[in-house]
Amino acid sequence: MFENLSERLSGVFDRLTKQGALSEDDVATALREVRVALLEADVSLPVARDFVKAVQDKATGQAVTKSVTPGQQVVKIVHDALIDVLRGEGDPGHLKIDNPPAPILMVGLQGSGKTTTTAKLAKRMKDREGKRVLMASLDTNRPAAMEQLAILGAQIGVDTLPIVKGEDPVAIAKRAKTQASLGGYDVYMLDTAGRLHIDQELIAQAAAVRDVANPRETLLVVDGLTGQDAVNVATEFDDKIGVTGVVLTRMDGDGRGGAALSMRAVTGKPIRFVGLGEKMDAIETFEPERIAGRILGMGDIVALVEKAQETIEAEQAEKMMKRMMKGQFNMNDLRMQLEQMQKMGGMEGMMSMMPGMGKMAKQVEEAGFDDKILARQIALIQSMTKKERAAPQILQASRKKRIAAGAGMDVSDLNKLLKMHRQMGDMMKKMGKMGKGGMLKQAMK
């Protein structure tokens, strides 16, 4: 059994008292454990090494959030960094299939789940986007593979190119293209032959097919359980054929997902889908969060991270209050606060984090505050110059007009915002003078 990373880290950090910031030693100790966990999750050594180094730079000196342990903090940093590496650009589930008929080339080793994935994706395009898909098996070495695709096609209601004995893969690809054009298909998928290992012939064949089909997408199917080998396979295919994305299969098994990280880090190719079983619906768009949680070996990572996040936000709110009470309150502060309020579920959400603030919320609302127009108020502040933000009292009527127009609002809206700013500033100053006890008493009257 793998030891849970969070357990491991809490062991390391139990001995440490809570400090203001993560020290270099804390981080180094924790990251040694992280590295072991990565290797156990089948991440390749060079990738684990680079990753840990990058995280080390990021983590050292970071403030430790109240109410999480330094260990949890490191886990969060690692988790976020994993997601950063794993996330590709754009929507992984979006296949380029405009301009019909769009060719999709499927490549991969034998047994990786290539044929199954071809059918799963065909079904997905048919069901979700109403596409007409034609599938063709180019696996001339294994007649059983060609029949398998035909059977799957019949099962999911997707057409397959009729099998012609003795035809070579390039000829099949050409026939698929013609058939797809004549038959009015949106997409045609070419399921190439696989071998147990990569060899020259396999690559040469896939390259020849690629050259006649000119595929819009070339998807490499890789068995997610194969770990480090998967990286070599991906590198080879990408170098020789050029792939536009990876599909990781068997992610329903107990593999730990490290292949995903290695593959992404080494090839830079986005992971597009994950296979989650043998059934035709068992395919999902790749979600980096899931794999990150899996690599860390923590089912509850998301909850933990969210909790940490909440705490960070509550702390930010507290800091913000302190600044306000010192009377440091210009339009930049107001803007930051409006943005934070937006994030925290509006004024109500923010006030609810602070004891005794219920009554305050009402006052603020009466001063012209409305959660719905937060975004527009932020836009108003954005239209001001730096000088104006620092000292809004300098605003003349003509500037007010232009600012309001720039944000697509009326001068009266801007005046409301300015009034709110003044009132909040006054209120905060008063509260600051009263001190915390006074403020609570006042609020509870």
> Which positions lie near ligand GDP, rule CB under 6 A?
108, 110-116, 194, 249-250, 252-253, 275-278, 282
Report the distance separating Cα 337 and Cα 167, nearest Å: 68
Secondary structure percentages of the chain, helix, strand, coil, to 5: 60, 10, 30
Report the distance separating Cα 64 and Cα 258, nearest Å: 28
C-beta of 253 vs 355, nearer to ligand GDP: 253
Nearest distance from C-beta of residue 250 to ligand GDP, angstroms: 4
C-beta of 277 vs 368, nearer to ligand GDP: 277
Nearest distance from C-beta of residue 13 to ligand GDP, angstroms: 37
Taking the alpha carbons at both ends of the chain, their separation in whole angstroms is 58
- 91 annotated binding-site participant: no
C-beta of 37 vs 190, nearer to ligand GDP: 190
- 114 annotated binding-site participant: yes
Nearest distance from C-beta of residue 189 to ligand GDP, angstroms: 12
- 356 annotated binding-site participant: no
Nearest distance from C-beta of residue 148 to ligand GDP, angstroms: 6
Contact 106, 189 (CB under 8 A): yes
Nearest distance from C-beta of residue 402 to ligand GDP, angstroms: 59
253 Cβ contact partners less than 8 Å away, ≥ 6 residues apart: 224, 225
Name the residue type at position 17.
Answer: T
Distance of CA 424 to the CA centre of its chain: 37
C-beta of 106 vs 431, nearer to ligand GDP: 106
Q: Where are the beta strands (DSSP E) in 224-322?
A: 245-249, 271-275, 283-285
Nearest distance from C-beta of residue 248 to ligand GDP, angstroms: 8
C-beta of 111 vs 183, nearer to ligand GDP: 111
- 111 annotated binding-site participant: yes
Pairing of strands 245-249, 271-275: parallel
C-beta of 295 vs 420, nearer to ligand GDP: 295
Nearest distance from C-beta of residue 112 to ligand GDP, angstroms: 4
Q: For ligand GDP, which residue has the nearest CB? A: 275
C-beta of 190 vs 331, nearer to ligand GDP: 190
- 128 annotated binding-site participant: no
For 67, 298, 377, the CA distances from 374, given in Å and listed in that order, are 30, 37, 5
- 244 annotated binding-site participant: no
- 251 annotated binding-site participant: yes
For 194-248, give the DSSP string.
--SS--HHHHHHHHHHHHHH--SEEEEEEETTSTHHHHHHHHHHHHHT--SEEEE
> In 3-state terms, what secondary structure has residue 187?
strand
Q: How many C-beta atoms lie closer than 10 Å to residue 36's C-beta?
A: 15
β-strand partners of 275: 283
- 250 annotated binding-site participant: yes
> In 3-state terms, what secondary structure has residue 108?
strand
- 192 annotated binding-site participant: yes
- Binding site per annotation, positions for GTP: 108-115, 191-195, 249-252
